[in-house]
């Protein structure tokens, strides 16, 4: 029987990405699967704090081992904005509005350096662990591609001439910030905490 892990998210895109990354080694449950319909507050001042708030909430309320991530886009010329506010940068959870606000703020700005960052918080068997993944790149002037979500159409990872949104999910999963953090999480689970 596969080991179960709760992923503290209702984002179907993220859940799908993670399930592919785990290659069937674990059964990944999301918040709706465990009957959690609360909007877990993300009141931290960093990706690590927000991820930890979410994973700890599930452990406390549902007594289930859990991991949570907090991810975002950090743009050098915008003092690392949108950062922890990536999902609601425009004031609402709307991918198109958030993306357009970034492009507006970067209008005429030569420095397009940016990075996507993920921090995963794992609460497992009484322990708490953090894993971080980063991918550097640049912000395109014009969106390209219709895969992915969020800022994917304007983020071109270093070493590539296409955006995340022009990659297949498999291609993106091989190099993404979330994939890099997840690989650390998976290696940890396999080496340190043998699934029962």
Active site residues: 70
**Residue closest to 172 by CA, chosen among 186, 155, 188, 194:** 155
d(CA 113, CA 76) in angstroms, rounded, equals 6
Question: Can you tell me which residue has the tokens 């289930």?
Answer: 64
**Residue closest to 189 by CA, chosen among 133, 117, 131:** 131
């Amino acid at each position: 029987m596969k080991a179960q892990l709760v992923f503290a998210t209702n984002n179907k895109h993220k859940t799908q990405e993670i399930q592919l990354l785990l290659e069937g080694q674990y059964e990944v449950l999301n918040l709706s699967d465990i009957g959690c319909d609360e909007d877990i507050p993300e009141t931290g001042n960093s990706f690590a704090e927000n991820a930890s708030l979410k994973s700890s909430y599930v452990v406390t309320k549902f007594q289930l081992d859990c991991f949570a991530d907090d991810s975002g886009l950090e743009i050098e010329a915008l003092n690392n904005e949108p950062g922890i506010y990536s999902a609601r940068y425009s004031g609402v959870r709307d991918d198109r509005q958030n993306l357009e606000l970034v492009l507006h703020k970067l209008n005429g700005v030569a420095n397009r350096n940016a990075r996507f960052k993920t921090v995963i918080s794992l609460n497992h068997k009484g322990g708490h662990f953090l894993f971080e993944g980063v991918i550097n790149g640049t912000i395109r002037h014009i969106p390209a591609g219709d895969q992915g979500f969020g800022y994917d159409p304007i983020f071109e990872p270093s070493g590539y001439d296409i955006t995340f949104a022009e990659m297949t999910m498999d291609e993106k999963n091989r190099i993404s910030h979330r994939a890099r953090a997840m690989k650390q999480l998976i290696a940890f689970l396999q080496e340190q905490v043998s699934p029962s």
